[in-house]
């Protein structure tokens, strides 16, 4: 996070790619090393996700084919570089949306528990376990890294979603 001289954070928002953008269907490449550009990308992804009121964002959603995901379900940001799901169990079925599919939602069944490994911005490996919303978010975002969108898994049809902010 960068602050200017007045203490106000400079936000670098990226354009979120929308459903028909072919980049959303491509497989992302692993991150080999953390560079200044990688750090800037992660910061921009967090800013973009928060600005769009999302709980997760994957690099291809902002046009970058790298295996990077950011998630925040309300407990603070999680940065996942080169993430992999190690284990899943149980199931949950619920409504899911995506910043790349604005105004729509669908019913998707995901694991209720997920264990994943990833790297942080210092390229230290860590594991993370999540249930319910965090498990859903991890599965959803990691899907983006392989060109997989939640709409590929919707049970029934997509529903229109009205965002309260759209009415302001």
Which amino acids are annotated catalytic?
A: 141
Classify residue 29 by its DSSP letter: B
Residue that has been written with the tokens 């860590």 in this structure: 126
Are 161 and 103 spatial neighbours (Cβ–Cβ below 8 Å)? yes
Residue 144 annotated as binding? Answer: yes
Give the pair of three-digit tokens for residue 55: 């709980």
The rounded distance, in Å, linking the Cα atoms of 42 and 46 is 6
HSE on the CB side for 129, CA within 13 Å? 4
The rounded distance, in Å, linking the Cα atoms of 57 and 66 is 12
* Phi-psi map region of 158: left, alpha, beta (phi>0 left; psi -120 to 50 alpha): beta
Residue 153 annotated as binding? Answer: no
Residue 98 annotated as binding? Answer: yes
Q: What residues form the annotated binding site for Fe cation?
A: 98, 140, 144
Q: What residues form the annotated binding site?
A: 98, 140, 144
């Amino acid at each position: 996070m960068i602050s200017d001289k007045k203490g106000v954070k400079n936000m670098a928002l990226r354009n979120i790619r929308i459903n028909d953008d072919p980049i959303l269907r491509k497989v992302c490449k692993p991150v080999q090393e953390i560079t200044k550009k990688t750090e800037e990308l992660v910061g921009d992804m967090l800013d973009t996700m928060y600005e769009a009121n999302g709980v997760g964002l994957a690099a291809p959603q902002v046009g970058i084919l790298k295996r990077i995901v950011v998630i925040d379900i309300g407990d603070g940001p999680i940065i996942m570089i080169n993430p992999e799901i190690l284990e899943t169990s149980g199931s949950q079925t619920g409504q899911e949306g995506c910043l790349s599919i604005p105004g729509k939602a669908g019913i998707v069944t995901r694991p209720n528990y997920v264990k994943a490994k990833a790297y942080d911005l210092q390229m230290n490996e860590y594991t993370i376990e999540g249930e319910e919303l965090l498990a859903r978010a991890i599965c959803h975002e990691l899907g983006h890294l392989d060109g997989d969108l939640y709409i590929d898994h919707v049970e029934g049809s997509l529903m229109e979603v009205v965002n309260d902010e759209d009415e302001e």
